Structure formats: structure tokens, C-alpha cells
Chain A
Amino acid sequence: MKLDFLLQQLISGVAIGMAYALIAIGYSMVYGILKFINFGHGAVYMTGTYIAYFLWIFFLERMPLWPSFILATLIAMVGAAIFGVLMEKVAYKPTRGRSRLTTFMSSVGVSLLITYGMEFLVGPAPRRTPALFEGVKIYIGGAVLTGMQVFMFATALILLLALQLFVTKTRMGRAMRACSEDLGAAYLMGVNADTVISVTFAIGSALGAVAGILVGAYYRAVYPTMGWIAGLKGFICAVAGGIGSIPGAMLGGLLLGMGENLGAGLVASGYRDAIAFAILILVMLFRPTGIFARKQKSSL
């Protein structure tokens, strides 16, 4: 009984952890290149989710469940990507060259503006999403796996693998790695830093939107302030796995997802978020370069 319960918690943790990993990518890649924490990422995640949600509801009247979901998600990815790039151009680029704290504070302002601007537009009440995989359940030992959990895990894994391939195999990926190594030197070598930064924001925001709609469909609720905690958790994963690394973000996500679920199961479910932040503080104290980081120099 007890063992089954733990197994159940771990499985749920793995599923939600992969979604956190998708959010973490947005922090990790931006940090890798611009060396600042993009606090506005949580707001982009929320915006992407809302775009997907409204489109999904709109398409659902005209086509079956799955095509409408996929179409809505794809359009939301593009929408969030444009949104993320715009955000960088408007709010962050003017502060480039000043202290990183200025950019960070600016991103906190952006986050407030978008989150509460959205709350003003759509109202604070959570909206219920349509159900995916209604009633699909897989039994492993005593634990139950829902179809949504499997789908969330698989989608996130595929996207993360695709991203890893993109970063290691393509020309743009190489430019990104060069920029994250040394932005100034890459610029001198003819890499168009502005384009690379825009692409970075676009990818991070698009993945954030996917994570958002997955989490929204998993908990079957979207609400304007969902980006606060989700964004902070994405950040925790990015830090735990070693900021700037894609496999690190995935491992960080799994660690956080399982850690907070186990903690919530063992202590009390209300303490879930507190456990997540306790993990952050512990990681910062003992392994500030990330638990899974090997050779990176400290980013602190």
C-alpha cells in the first residue's frame, strides 16, 4: 500500500516534471546567452496557454478533439514565440549594456504587466479546459497512469530531443552555442547576435506555450496567475539541472517533479510549492552550479 502510493507519486512527478523541464528551457537558454533571469517567462507561458485555450475552444466547435487541440497548440506556439521576441525587443534590449539587475527588474515589471493585463482582460476565474484522454488509464503494479500523463511525458521528451538536435546539429544551433560561450567574441566572428537572441526567445517561448497547454489540460484549468508559480518552478529546474544545459533542464524537471510530489505525499499536499522552493534554496546553497553540472564554471 505504502509502496504503491510512493510509486504513484513518483509517476505523477515524472509527468509534471517533464512539463517543468519545457518551461526551464526558456530560462536556461536565455540565461546561457544573455546571463540574466528572464522573469517574464512565466507570463509568456501563461499567454501561450491562453492563446491555445481560446483557439482550442474556437476550433472545437468546428472539428474533432485532437485536430483542434493540435492546431490550437501549433498556432499558440507561433503566437507565444512572436510574443517572446517582442518582449525582448521592447523591454530587455533597451537595458542591454546596463547592469544585469536592471534587465532582471525590467523582466519582473513585464511579468506583472502581462499577468495582470491578462487578468484584466479575461478575469481572474479559472477556466476549465476540454478533456484529453478521458478515462484512459494504464495500471502498473498498484499505481495508475493516466493517458494524459503519458502524453505529457512523450510530448515533452520529443520536443526536448528535437531541441537538443537543433542546438547540436544545425548552423543556428552552433551560433547559439557560440553566443552562450562568449557573446562578444561570437559577434566579432560574424554571428548575428540579435538574430540568435531573437531565435532563443522564440524557441523558449514556444516551448513554454506547449508546457502551458499541457499543464492546463492536465489540471484541466487555466488562469491568469498560473505563470507565477509555474515560471518559478521552471527556474528551479533550470538551476537544479545546471543553467544553460538542455539535458540538465530535463533532469532538473524530473528531480523537482518527483521531489515535490514525494514531499507533498509524505508531508501534506498543501506544502507542495514550499517544498519546491526549499529544493531551490538547498540547491543554491550546496550546488549552485546545478546538481548535474560537471565541468561548467560557476554561474554565480
Chain B
Amino acid sequence: MKWFPDRIRVLTLTLVIALLIPIFVRSAFVLHVLVLLGIWVVLTVSLNLVTGFAGPLALGHAAFVTIGAYTGALLMLNNGWSFWPALLVGGLTSLLSGLILGLMALRLRGDYLGMVTLGFGEIIRVVAINWVDLTRGPMSLPGIPRPVIFGYTFKGEVPFYFLMLALVVFTQVTVERLLFSRFGRACLAVRDDVEAARAMGVEDYKYKVLAFCISSGYAGLAGVFYASWTTLFSPDSFTLTDSIMISVMETLGGIGSLEGIIPGAMILGALPELLRPFTTGVKIASLRLAGVGLLMVVMLIVRPQGIAGMSIRKAYISLEPVRRLFVRDQARIQEGP
């Protein structure tokens, strides 16, 4: 791909900044928020693989986080597994659940698929609440262990921040490699014109299912990370509103854009934490969700291509390589669904 050098440059710069953050930021709270932002970024980037590139609308990402988190946490707590194999199995379990749901549901069209995935999320939540013998239900699962590597425990904010960063980089790099592979080209073809793709021999169903289950796998990984970081997981940790939240982050960043997604997730993920000092408790939670809803409607009406599309001309005139990078991508977005 021609724009690769530019992409690499921008991403390396971002990564360097991200690596330097712990040197300058000493506040445990800020680092905690950054770790949570990492989770949101992983979820949004992975969901973008489905909605942005393969096409179908999925609103059940929280379900896969829950499945992955419970699998990982229970393996660690009940069977004494260490973090790494539990992470792997948690991710694989989510991937398999995604495969099963995807095989069943991905024959449905657009908004119907959205409703079915949303319903699946509710089923998972209800099961997690009621299967008290296994999940302890609403009493939540406390004391989930932290990752250990060669006898070193990732306990504090800084080590976990780096671990999270590793997951974010892993997700971004693998998703990008996937997109520039045969698989990614097939996904884009399916998204842009199903009929043409079919005529070229691309089996759209197969690629949709693949994209869906791979993206669920990332959600499972993020779930195990989240459970291990907060050391606590309950059926209400990730719910329907979180699934919707991930979609809003995607809409804000620009559905199907590689660049906008990360800032989109970070802005929305950081918002409630930034507002926290000013208000408290339930009020802020409802205000935040109401604001997110409003933002979603406004973005869809005014700027369906997301912030990446919005800021091209104004913000990037002096950064010629970056501007070109964004413009090229925007051309693709506008041809999108």
C-alpha cells in the first residue's frame, strides 16, 4: 500500500507519546483512566472490523467482553490458571461464541442483525446474573488475580499501563494487517458492493462471519484484561449501553476509518472521567449517556463520516503527509455504506 510510510510515521509518533506518558504523569487516577481508555480503544477498533469494514451492524460487543472476562476470571479463580493461558482461553471462548452467533445471525439484514446481537447481549447478561453457582451472579466476582510474568506481578498503574498499551498496539497492528490482507480486501468489497463482490466469487457470508468472530475474540481479550485490572467483574460491568457506547465511539471517529477510531474512543471514554470532579453519582451517569445519545444523533445527521472527516481541511493543512493520508481515507469513507 502506498500510504504505508505516512501511516507508520503517525502511528510511531503516537506510540512514542504513549510510551512517554508515564514519565510525566504520576497521578494514579489519570493512569487508571488511561488503562480504561485502552480497553475502549481495543473494543472500538475491533468492532470497527465488523461494522466499518465488513459491513454488518453489530450491537452485542459487551456480550463478548462478558463471556471472555468470566471465562478468564473463573479459570484463574477456580482452576488456579495463571493470567496468560486464561487470557488466551478467554479470547478463544469469545471468538467461538462469536462464531456460533455469527453463523446463525449474519444471514440477517442490517438493523435486524443489530436487534439480534443486542438481544444476545441481554441473554448473556441474564444468564450471568442467574447462574449464581458459577458466576456468583449480582454478587460479582472479586479477587481476580493480576498478570504475572517470570515472577513479576503487574500490580501498579504504570506496569499495567504498559501492558494495556501492548494490547492496544497488538490490536491495532493485527487489525491493520488483516485489513490489508486478502481477507481485508474481501471485507471491503463486501461492504462496498455485495453484488459485485459475489460476482467476483467473494463469499460475503463467510467473510462477515470471519470478521464477526475475530472481532469478538478481541472483545474477549479486552474483557480478561479489564477483569484483571479492576480485579472485579459483575454481569453489569459491560451491558447494552456499553455496546451502544462502542458504536457511538465508532460513529464519532468515523465508521470504517482507521485514524478516527482511536481519538473517537478516547474522547468519549475520557468524557465521564473528566466530568467526574464536577458532579457525582447517578446524575453524572445518566447525563453522560443522554449526552452520548445526543452526540450520536447530531453526528449522524451532520457528520456521518465522523471527526476524521471533519477536521481534514482545517487542522491538517500544514501537515501535508498526514493530510494526504486522511483525504485518501475519506474518499473511501464517502463511498461507504
Chain A residues close to B by CB (< 8 Å): 36-37, 91, 94-95, 98-102, 104-106, 108-117, 119-120, 123-124, 224, 228-229, 232, 235-236, 239, 268, 270-271, 273-274, 277-278, 280-281, 284-285, 288, 300
Contacts and interface: CB of A to CB of B under 8 A. Distances in A.
Interface in B276-317: 282-283, 285-290, 292-297, 300-301, 304
B123 interface: yes
A105 B297 CA distance: 8
A239 B110 CA distance: 14
A134 B287 CA distance: 37
B301 A232 contact: no
Interface residues of B, number: 45
A106 B301 contact: yes
Contacts of A235: 115
Interface of B: 57, 59, 104-105, 108-112, 114-116, 118-120, 122-123, 126-127, 129-130, 240-241, 244, 247-248, 251, 282-283, 285-290, 292-297, 300-301, 304, 337
Nearest to B240: A228
B126 A271 contact: yes
Contact of B111 (A37, A113, A119, A229): A37
B196 to A, nearest CB: 17
Contacts of B241: 112
A105 B247 contact: yes
B279 to A, nearest CB: 10
A110 B296 CA distance: 8
Contacts of A277: 119-120, 122-123
A37 B57 CA distance: 13
Nearest to B112: A300
Contacts of B116: 280-281, 284
Given A105-B251, A268-B130, A300-B112, A110 B297 contact: yes
Given A112-B244, A274-B123, A277-B120, A232 B251 contact: no
A270 B290 contact: no
A100 B111 contact: yes
Contact of A232 (B109, B122, B126, B290): B122
B293 A116 contact: yes
B111 A104 contact: yes
A99 B337 contact: yes
Contact of A91 (B247, B248, B301, B304): B301
Given A116-B285, A281-B105, 9 more contacts: A91-B301, A101-B110, A113-B293, A115-B293, A120-B286, A123-B282, A229-B122, A270-B129, A274-B126
A113 B300 CA distance: 14
A20 B183 CA distance: 43
A94 B301 contact: yes
A273 B285 CA distance: 24
B107 to A, nearest CB: 8
A229 B239 CA distance: 13
Nearest to B300: A106
A280 B286 contact: no
Interface majority SS on A: helix, strand, loop or mixed?
A: helix
Contact of A98 (B120, B282, B304): B304
A105 to B, nearest CB: 6
Given A95-B301, A106-B297, A123-B282, A280 B108 contact: no
Nearest to A270: B130
20 contacts: A95-B301, A98-B304, A99-B337, A104-B57, A105-B247, A106-B297, A109-B300, A115-B289, A115-B290, A116-B285, A116-B293, A117-B286, A120-B286, A124-B286, A224-B286, A232-B119, A270-B126, A274-B126, A281-B105, A281-B116
Contact of A112 (B57, B110, B289): B289
Contacts of B337: 99, 101
B244 A116 contact: no
Given A104-B57, A105-B247, A284-B116, A300 B108 contact: yes
A91 B297 contact: yes
B293 A110 contact: yes
A108 B290 CA distance: 11
Which 8 pairs, one residue from A and one from B, show the smallest C-beta to C-beta distance?
A112-B293, A109-B296, A113-B293, A277-B119, A116-B289, A119-B286, A116-B290, A270-B130
Contacts of B289: 112, 115-116, 119
A274 B122 contact: yes
Nearest to A37: B111
A229 B119 CA distance: 10
B296 to A, nearest CB: 3
A280 B57 contact: no
Nearest to A35: B111
A278 B114 contact: no
A112 B292 contact: yes
Given A105-B296, A120-B290, A300 B301 contact: no
B119 A281 contact: yes
B304 A102 contact: yes
Contact of B290 (A113, A271, A273): A113
